[in-house]
Structure 1
Amino acid sequence: MGYYSGRVVVITGAGSGIGRALAVDLAGQGARLALSDQNTDAVAATVRRCEGAGAWVRGDTLDVTDRSAVLTYAQALAEESGPVDLVFAVAGVIHTGTVLDSEFEDIEHVINVNFWGVVNTVKAFLPHVIAAKRSGHVVIVSSVFGIVAAPHYSAYSASKFAVRGFTEALRQEMVLDGHEVAVTGVYPGGVRTSILRNGRFASREDASVIARTFDKKIARTEPEKAAEIILRGVRRRRAYVLVGMDARLVSAFIRVAGSAYQGLLPWGRRLSRWWR
């Protein structure tokens, strides 16, 4: 039997991208899956793929910003399946635009989904994961933008830095309080998903150019490869998982450059515009 075989695994944001890739990979490894997404059709498609691999799957439409719904969902699942072994908080959105141009509504949307969605998910499931004892594991997806901030991504960076802090504090609390629950923070670089194409853009941003540039020049890692890296790190109970060479390079760069990177990134952005 493999590491994930028979374990109850919760994945939010399972309708596409990394969430779907994790679900499909885990289905092939014999996990029992509870999949959710705000997009009903998308999560249903993921459920069908996982059922095709012979997995036990429950699919639900869930908005992670709806705290009451998340709490109800966690309780219902625990009553149906018993202790929850692993929770993957994957659901996320993005917004592109300067602080000056961005609308409050768009900033709030990113913070609500990316940060409060994680808090709601972890708070709802943590008692059930603790009940799983040594098999308990919380996996929270941040971003390389939770390691380094970038211009035009202030809301996204803020949400992912907050997720990083929340994850690291949670890990320390589990150790301090004597719980056997592992906590892993995941920091993907450019992964070929639809997050940017489905994102929100400030009025002066060229959405088509930004999405095309991301797909052609930044998104170097396929979701399936990202899932493989994440699951290997989780199996080894790693505290940090960097996904993609770009994430590893950024992490190394920040360790060397420190806060000086804040002067280098705008310079690099201007240079790239000049060459283009």
Structure 2
Amino acid sequence: MTAIQGSAAAVTGAASGIGRALALELARRGCDLALADRDEAGLQAVAAEIRKEGQRKVSLHRVDVGEPAQIAAFAEAAVTAHPALNIVVNNAGVALLGQFGEIEQAQMEWLFNINFWGVVHGTRAFLPQLSQQREAHIVNISSIFGILAPPGQSAYCAAKFAVRGFSESLRHELAMADSPVRLSVVHPGGVATSIARNSRTGTGVTDNARRAESIERFDALAKTTPAAAAQRIIAGIEKNEPRILIGKDAWFMDLLQRFRPATYWKVMQRQMEKVAARRIARAAAAK
């Protein structure tokens, strides 16, 4: 068990979404925080909210996780501010809309630098510190799209599958070495964050209506709140769960992939068409 009360955690992508919700919930449960994001104003807002509710020690760090040197500097500064730091949440991530042929190589590399290499560099930078603690925990955020892969998400799925593979292998290495460090990989389903609205679009995507439709579809499927996601992740940390699924949709898609590993998309497509039809019907009834 990794206790939250009395711990200190580093969280990337902490200015919004799941990262912000995690920061707030960890603080409520007695955890000091080193919060990282590119959005300095967002970090300040989170810190102000935490300080209203209690006296947790909070340090703020402007970090682009796509830059390894900035991650290394963040780890050094976070450990200096919190010498007993024992939890790391590699949460920061971005999205990229477009099929493989519509995405330039540079765009795919941009996404990988953040969604995959950001996790790897963050893990590497903090692991020496974590290994010195009596109990410690790494949380790497993958996605349900690290378990199954819909069309139009080739770059995102590739990175999130990579996070899953890296995390599972490292977890086994840590166990074999009898390390005090535990590792959970998280697979959220639809969570109501701004990641879709803030996504970049492949240079080959020229249909603006398609982007709007994609965002609308995501919003319709995003049933889990960031606060609920944060509570589920923290429960997983406390129980040392190796895999954390978030949302009923994630549980359904995980089971679907197990039973139909090569043909799950046909079922998913039918489900998405039903959701779209209900959305159209509701819109028509509202007119």
Give, in angstroms, the shift of residue 266 of structure 1. 5.8
Q: Quick one: percent identity of the two aligned structures?
A: 35
Could you say if the C-alpha distance between residues 52 and 98 of structure 1 is closer, same or farther in structure 2, counting changes exceeding 3 Å?
same
* Alpha-carbon separation, structure 2, partners of 1:108 and 1:149: 19
Tell me the SS of whatever aligns to 1:100: helix
Residue type of the partner of 2:153? Y
Alignment correspondent of 1:45? 45
Residue type of the partner of 1:207? R
Question: Alignment RMSD, CA only?
Answer: 2.0
Higher mean C-alpha displacement, 38-47 vs 222-231: 38-47
Give, in angstroms, the shift of residue 270 of structure 1. 7.4
Cα shift readout 1:196-254 (whole Å, capped 9, x = no counterpart): 00001232352222212211x21100000111111111111100110000000001111
Tell me the SS of whatever aligns to 2:126: helix
Alignment correspondent of 1:86? 87
Residue type of the partner of 1:209? E
- Tell me if 1:204 matches 2:213: no
* Alpha-carbon separation, structure 1, partners of 2:79 and 2:267: 48
Higher mean C-alpha displacement, 33-42 vs 13-22: 33-42
Give, in angstroms, the shift of residue 269 of structure 1. 6.3
* Alpha-carbon separation, structure 2, partners of 1:230 and 1:36: 18
Residue type of the partner of 2:14? A
- Tell me if 1:151 matches 2:151: yes
Give, in angstroms, the shift of residue 3 of structure 1. 3.2
Cα shift readout 1:7-64 (whole Å, capped 9, x = no counterpart): 1101000010000000001111111000010111111111111122222101111011
Q: Name structure 1 gaps, 5 residues minimum.
A: none
TM score, norm. by length of structure 1: 0.93
Could you say if the C-alpha distance between residues 273 and 10 of structure 1 is closer, same or farther in structure 2, counting changes exceeding 3 Å?
closer
* Alpha-carbon separation, structure 2, partners of 1:191 and 1:272: 16
Kindly report which structure 2 residues correspond to 1:1-276, keeping only aligned pairs within 5 A, or say none. Answer: 3-54=3-54, 55-134=56-135, 136-202=136-202, 203-205=205-207, 206-215=210-219, 217-262=220-265, 264-265=267-268
TM score, norm. by length of structure 2: 0.90
Cα shift readout 1:68-116 (whole Å, capped 9, x = no counterpart): 1211221222233213210011000001111111122221111111001
Tell me the SS of whatever aligns to 1:133: coil
Give, in angstroms, the shift of residue 264 of structure 1. 5.0
Could you say if the C-alpha distance between residues 39 and 257 of structure 1 is closer, same or farther in structure 2, counting changes exceeding 3 Å?
same
Give, in angstroms, the shift of residue 133 of structure 1. 2.7
Could you say if the C-alpha distance between residues 266 and 47 of structure 1 is closer, same or farther in structure 2, counting changes exceeding 3 Å?
same
Residue type of the partner of 1:214? F
CA contact (8 A) 1:65 1:120 kept: no
Tell me the SS of whatever aligns to 1:59: strand
Q: Which runs of 4+ in 1 moved over 4 A?
A: 262-276
* Alpha-carbon separation, structure 1, partners of 2:236 and 2:273: 36
Residue type of the partner of 1:223? P
* Alpha-carbon separation, structure 1, partners of 2:26 and 2:78: 18
* Alpha-carbon separation, structure 2, partners of 1:150 and 1:199: 17
CA contact (8 A) 1:101 1:204 kept: no
CA contact (8 A) 2:144 2:187 kept: yes
